[in-house]
């Protein structure tokens, strides 16, 4: 689980908390499964782009 920031346009940032990720124990790179990314995309579409900073909690 991790928190991930996403920049929407020039002035808006969305942080999604508690995102389930797969992480490499050696290099610490992470991977999002397709269903997880689809849920994040839905969250980002619902974000108000005029808000400077928004925080969402990931829910499967």
pLDDT of 3-41, one tens digit each?
A: 999 999 888 999 999 999 998 889 989 899 999 999 999
In total, how many domains does the chain have? Answer: 1
Show the domain range for 29: 2-57
pLDDT higher than threshold 80 for residue 42:
yes
Dist. CA 31–CA 36, nearest whole Å: 10
C-beta of residue 6 within 8 angstroms of C-beta of residue 19: no
Strand 30-31 with 22-23, pairing = antiparallel
pLDDT higher than threshold 90 for residue 44:
yes
**C-alpha angle 21/26/31, rounded to 5°?**
25
């Amino acid at each position: 689980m991790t928190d991930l920031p996403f920049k929407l346009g020039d002035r808006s940032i969305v942080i999604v908390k508690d995102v389930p990720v797969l992480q490499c124990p050696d290099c610490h790179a992470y991977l999002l499964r397709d269903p997880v990314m689809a849920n994040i995309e839905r969250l980002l579409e619902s974000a108000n782009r005029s808000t400077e900073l928004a925080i969402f909690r990931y829910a499967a």
